[in-house]
Structure 1
């Protein structure tokens, strides 16, 4: 009887080892046969504002032996268009997705459904404007802190006195969580120190910015919350269409740097696009390669650029990634 019990235990042990081996093989077999594929869907992907982000993706893909697919998109898209793009990439074999989400709770719900099919990492910000409503991981900067930092730089330039000064705020996109957080941080500092926000404009099409900025009432400073609006403000400043207003803003492109270098922008804050790309892909790759690795949100830094220190040694790497 004891011999039968020993044999039974031995057989069970062998079966358990075989089962563990089978599970391990299932999760690791791709590494020896084919590479994992990660698809990236961002709005207006060919814009120069994504250069450093895509360079970071490329470097991480090489380091992690990942097949990278950045979907070509010619501009902004709707929730339905984004969903179609995501489903198409999954059908084409994507094992994970990096997504710049369309703003809104409906987008958040759609992305949660996608997450049940493949791992999802959001880029720049969450879909929902209310951060607590989001459960999906995000790789991006602290957008609220960026808004506060920009306001602090502006306050310092005015010698610590902005009481009674009039400001205008512009943003290229409408409703995103990133821009809402940036504006909230900016307003908290400016308004607490006596500044007046005369107007806030968002969602203007690129070709309409020039006329829109001309028609707005006069302010001392125009603050641009994203790369597209900063480029528009820089261009209008160069054409003397801002009624003498100074320009401060947030951007990622070589065009934004150009306007800083030509003194059309007084201060530029640059979120670290390279590490946003690198860390988002690396985090997904680790999840794909290690079944029990839970995807975590990743915060990236940002840099305050001034014309006088634009080409210093400490900023060379940043400028290099933006030009790739």
Structure 2
């Protein structure tokens, strides 16, 4: 008799859970016309370096049938400012957040992830060598730095004897910048390259003064799009003392400097897919309740002046101009 009562109780409990689940799904479907909202927070949101990324976001938002909102930000962003923006977006109805982490934001972002799904783009919020507490969509930053070094060495047949190099980054304390610099210098370790200086501006500050104050070198290595376009601008005005620029970039300005011969080689991370995959992962976490957002590593392309107009590269440049 006791076993029968226990079985009856378990059956009733299971049926009650199923009824609640079905009711929840029916309510969800009834309200299905109201799209989920995903807010995106990046530094200097109007900068052209984000064109391909934002195009990817828009395409994914259409495919996933969600509302996507890009928060307007200035040229610098601190961890405290980022926290305020995220809180404001959650208060304004954001169901998920896509964010470019700033240095020192890891614990804050992890706490925000307990309120809504949070997807990082570009790099993790953790310290170098530590695993990220949140999923990340972006390129392999170490590989970007290494391939940039490899392309430079190709152009000089592996012999950089007598050549001086300067390394420049406008996001110097970000994990992405640190890993790119490490990838580049590791690849140069057993060569005769002479690195004269390495200038890095903190993530939340401008880097123009740093570039102004550096001694003349033969080659400037730019580790991010803003660094590359600034170096290109300086070179165009003859303020780099004839230095050739090699770098990582993803804007039409970066391509322009490559086309005019100021930049010798451009390594381009697939920012379109950073946007598309990050929004797709965030949207799926909202529509599929058991879906756990995953890290996604996007590819990169090496673009040179002589292959600028290949079909593949023209497709990449198209995403930068949207």
Query: So what's the TM-score if we normalise by structure 2?
Result: 0.93
Normalized per residue, the structure richer in helix is 1
The structural deviation recorded for 1:23 is: 4.7
**2:156 pairs with 142, 155, 158, which one?**
158
Please, what is the CA RMSD of the aligned residues?
2.1
The structural deviation recorded for 1:196 is: 1.7
**2:272 pairs with 248, 271, 274, which one?**
274
Q: Number of matched residues?
A: 318
Say whether residues 1:252 and 2:250 are aligned partners: yes
Q: Which residue of 1 aligns with 2:215?
A: 217
Q: Which residue of 2 aligns with 1:226?
A: 224
The structural deviation recorded for 1:165 is: 2.7
Say whether residues 1:61 and 2:61 are aligned partners: yes
3-state DSSP class of the match of 2:35? coil
CA contact (8 A) 1:129 1:176 kept: no
Q: CA–CA distance in 1 between the matches of 2:169 and 2:95?
A: 34
| Bigger Cα displacement from structure 2, 305-314 vs 149-158 | 305-314
Q: Which residue of 2 aligns with 1:15?
A: 16
| Bigger Cα displacement from structure 2, 237-246 vs 78-87 | 237-246
Q: Which residue of 2 aligns with 1:263?
A: 261
CA contact (8 A) 1:252 1:270 kept: yes
Q: Which residue of 1 aligns with 2:47?
A: 47
Q: Which residue of 2 aligns with 1:79?
A: 79
Q: CA–CA distance in 1 between the matches of 2:79 and 2:211?
A: 28
Say whether residues 1:146 and 2:144 are aligned partners: yes
User: Which consecutive residues of structure 1, in runs of 5 or more, have no partner in the other structure?
Assistant: none
Structure-to-structure mapping, 1:105-120, within 5 angstroms? 107-120=105-118
CA contact (8 A) 1:230 1:256 kept: yes
Q: CA–CA distance in 1 between the matches of 2:36 and 2:224?
A: 33
The structural deviation recorded for 1:319 is: 0.8
Q: Which residue of 2 aligns with 1:314?
A: 312
Q: Which residue of 2 aligns with 1:289?
A: 287
3-state DSSP class of the match of 2:263? coil
Q: Which residue of 2 aligns with 1:36?
A: 36
CA contact (8 A) 1:129 1:180 kept: no
Q: CA–CA distance in 2 between the matches of 1:312 and 1:281?
A: 29
Q: Which residue of 1 aligns with 2:96?
A: 96
Q: Which residue of 2 aligns with 1:169?
A: 167
The structural deviation recorded for 1:91 is: 0.2
Q: CA–CA distance in 2 between the matches of 1:49 and 1:7?
A: 63
| Bigger Cα displacement from structure 2, 142-151 vs 162-171 | 162-171
The structural deviation recorded for 1:163 is: 3.8
Q: Which residue of 1 aligns with 2:201?
A: 203
Q: CA–CA distance in 1 between the matches of 2:15 and 2:81?
A: 51
CA contact (8 A) 2:200 2:210 kept: no
CA contact (8 A) 1:190 1:196 kept: no
Query: So what's the TM-score if we normalise by structure 1?
Result: 0.92
Q: CA–CA distance in 2 between the matches of 1:143 and 1:31?
A: 41
Structure 1's consecutive aligned runs of 4 or more residues displaced over 2 angstroms after TM superposition are: 4-17, 22-26, 28-31, 211-215
Cα distance change of structure 1 residues 20 and 305 upon mapping to structure 2, 3 Å threshold: same
Cα distance change of structure 1 residues 224 and 267 upon mapping to structure 2, 3 Å threshold: same
Deviations 1:268-294 (A, max 9, x none): 111101000000000111111111111
The structural deviation recorded for 1:220 is: 1.6
3-state DSSP class of the match of 1:146? helix
